[in-house]
Amino acid sequence: MKKTTLSLALFAALGLTACNSDNQSTHTSVPVSASVNQSFETFSNAFISQYWAHYPEASSYAGYGKYDDIITIPNTQTRTKNNAFVTAQLATLHKFDVNTLTANQKTDYYLIENRLKLSLWHNNTFKSWQWNPSNYNVSGGFALLLNNRFKSTDEKLALVLNRLKFVPEYYQAAQNNIENPTLEFTQLAIQQNKGAFSVLKDDLLETVSNSQLSPEEKALFKSRFADAKTAIHGYVDFLTQLEKELSDNNSARSFRIGEALYEQKFAFDIQSGYTAKQMYHKALADKERVTGEMVKLTNQLWPKYFPNTEKPSNSRDAISQLIKHLSVKHVAKEEFVDEISKQIPALEAFVKEKDLITLDADKPLVVRKTPEYMRGYAMASISSPGPYESKGNTFYNVEPMSDMDDATASSFLREYNHWILQILNIHEAIPGHYTQLVYANKSPSLIKSLFSNGAMVEGWAVYTERMMLEEGYGDFEPEMWLMYYKWNLRVICNTILDYAIHVEGLSKEGGLDLLMNGAFQEKAEAQGKWRRATLSQVQLTSYYSGYREIYDLREAQKERLGSDFDLKAFHEEFLSFGSAPVKYINELMN
């Protein structure tokens, strides 16, 4: 591991001056001292540089590039060093009086503070480095390097060569860290680390053989490559034995984290004005409201699809029967990924026709099958380039159905039917995640782009689903709105499920009943969501909490501006603040 020393320049930032910031805001009435403003800019820039030195893997995902050949060894020494770094940075940050900063700088202040306190909390309180073996996987960093389209093959191989030397020590430290893990995370770690060999393939040695590396470098590459594969196999074998012991002895740690840790994690991750418990109760109320809208649409559509059949007296039964009838309209199993690719241009065309937001044609979106080392968590996801390499490809990852049996695949396809597949693509691609992340990389504040708020990111994607339908996507077809509400109910039930599992001890049977009977989901989707809730905490609440705050902000802006409200202008101003928490964007826009 490359060792770094805390820079004295960082601690001297308060006394330094710099050029005027592009982030100064005209929205604040607080008198601002130019020297304080400049000093905070100096501090922010120095902080980011120091942060990457201490967290090189995070810098790679941001596209920083300087530490791409480094893997941090996850041992006690590293955690101690990082705790010292975080404590020192907090002390420097707190020397600033937040009330003397511009509105944009206040947001950056709170984001830095939250990220630093979160790091201490993870290291010293949450300690998932002990009980989550899936934290340890070198695949992602290697995949980033090998997929980089701006480096030559020889440049990439040289970086991979250096990176390989850390792998054996990395996995030895990982084994040393594991203590009383959950069974679910142990199984996920086995699956995903086996997927590492889809990145570190033997074909790579042939590429090395044909490269311009020196004979000595080629020999060293071959030796380190073999040692790395041995280390990964060793970790998988270690976990496989551990899984057997945990299963045989029923001695695994519970995946439920309890109310105290859940509230703390919610506060750090969501950064909402609500507590987790308050958001849970808001979701329960919204569940009833959305179900009421589905009852109205079912009453409207029933005569069209069941003209000679009496509608069930129980509204939920009627909704369920209609949804099941409509859900058989879907693509074939073999066409699922291709169909997603085909739908992207139609979404682009609609956004341009309605002038909803400016799209950047220079930022590629590539639909691909989810790499093996990432599978087993979500059906669809986005892998976006960081702000330092903003012209890189954005990947739309889709789990292939080739490994599913016909019954499971059929269940998934009914869930992602003709209508919902379009809503999924709005969410993941245009104008959802893909579009928002392109804008985030353009934010004048690196802090807002780098330390993104998950609730804002997920909330924007959920917001765009409803916004697109409100603007006429789907021609106001009642079937589309029914399926949208089904999808929205899923977002709401994500929050209910996650809180109920981790805080209230909801059983698997109770969770599946909530999703299948309360949210009208297919069995395969419900089982997948249950699994996901056992492999995460709080993240499932980010969709609903972010969406609720964004939609409420837009409606407040419409009421305040009246005829002067412009939807495109709202979208572009909202996204201009990077991936900051909605409550801070609200302050900046008002």
pLDDT, tens digit (0-9, with 9 covering 90-100), for 331-346:
999 999 999 999 999 9
The domain spans of the chain are 20-126, 134-249, 269-330+346-359+415-589
Determine the average pLDDT of the residues in 159-176.
98
Across 148-162, 250-264, 431-445, the highest mean pLDDT is recorded for: 250-264
Helix (H, G, I), strand (E, B) or coil at 455: helix
404 — pLDDT class (breaks 50, 70, 90): confident
Distances (CA, A) of 15 to 39, 40, 41: 7, 10, 12
Q: Which of 347, 369, 372 is nearest to 359 (CA)?
A: 347
Q: Give yes or no for residue 9 having a pLDDT over 70.
A: no
Q: Give yes or no for residue 465 having a pLDDT over 90.
A: yes
Q: Partners of 383 in the beta sheet?
A: 395
Percent of the chain as helix, strand, coil, to the nearest 5: 70, 5, 30
Alpha-carbon torsion 91, 269, 66, 575, what sign?
A: negative
30 — pLDDT class (breaks 50, 70, 90): very low
Determine the average pLDDT of the residues in 403-409.
87
Distances (CA, A) of 256 to 6, 184, 498, 501: 37, 11, 10, 7
Give CA angle at 152 (151, 156), nearest 5°: 70
Cα gap 180→131, rounded to integer Å: 6
H/E stretch holding 589 reads: helix 582-589
pLDDT tens track for 351-394 = 999 999 999 888 888 899 998 878 876 788 888 887 777 777 88
| Least confidently predicted of 61-70, 381-390, 412-421 | 381-390
Q: Which of 118, 482, 8 is nearest to 291 (CA)?
A: 482
pLDDT score of 129: 98
Helix (H, G, I), strand (E, B) or coil at 394: strand
Q: Partners of 182 in the beta sheet?
A: 253
20 — pLDDT class (breaks 50, 70, 90): very low
Determine the average pLDDT of the residues in 209-214.
96
pLDDT score of 273: 82
pLDDT score of 492: 97
234 — pLDDT class (breaks 50, 70, 90): very high
Q: Which of 557, 497, 487 is nearest to 529 (CA)?
A: 497
* Higher-confidence position of 103 and 50: 50
Angle between helices 76-93 and 103-121 (to 10 degrees): 150
Determine the average pLDDT of the residues in 324-332.
95
| Least confidently predicted of 82-86, 160-164, 408-412 | 408-412
pLDDT score of 12: 29
Distances (CA, A) of 352 to 347, 355, 364, 550, 569: 9, 5, 17, 22, 14
Q: What is the DSSP letter of 43?
A: H
CB 488 within 8 A of CB 294: no
When the pLDDT of each residue in the chain is averaged and rounded to a whole number, the result is: 90
Helix (H, G, I), strand (E, B) or coil at 145: helix
Q: At 200, phi and psi to the nearest 5?
A: -90, 70
Q: Give yes or no for residue 25 having a pLDDT over 90.
A: no
441 — pLDDT class (breaks 50, 70, 90): confident
Q: Give yes or no for residue 253 having a pLDDT over 70.
A: yes
pLDDT score of 136: 97
28 — pLDDT class (breaks 50, 70, 90): very low
On whether the pTM is more than 0.85, the answer is no
User: SS3 for 195-250, per residue?
Assistant: HHHHCCCCHHHHHHHCCCCCHHHHHHHHHHHHHHHHHHHHHHHHHHHHHHHHHHHC
b or e along 110-139 (b: 16 or more beta carbons within 10 Å of the residue's beta carbon)?
A: bbbebbbebbebbbeebebbebbbbebbbb
33 — pLDDT class (breaks 50, 70, 90): low
pLDDT score of 17: 27
pLDDT score of 141: 93
pLDDT score of 377: 67
Q: Give yes or no for residue 247 having a pLDDT over 50.
A: yes
Provide CB contacts within 8 A for 314, sequence distance 6+.
none
**Sheet of 380-383, strand order:** 365-369, 394-398, 380-383
Provide CB contacts within 8 A for 552, sequence distance 6+.
none
pLDDT score of 386: 75
Residue whose structure tokens are 């939920």: 316
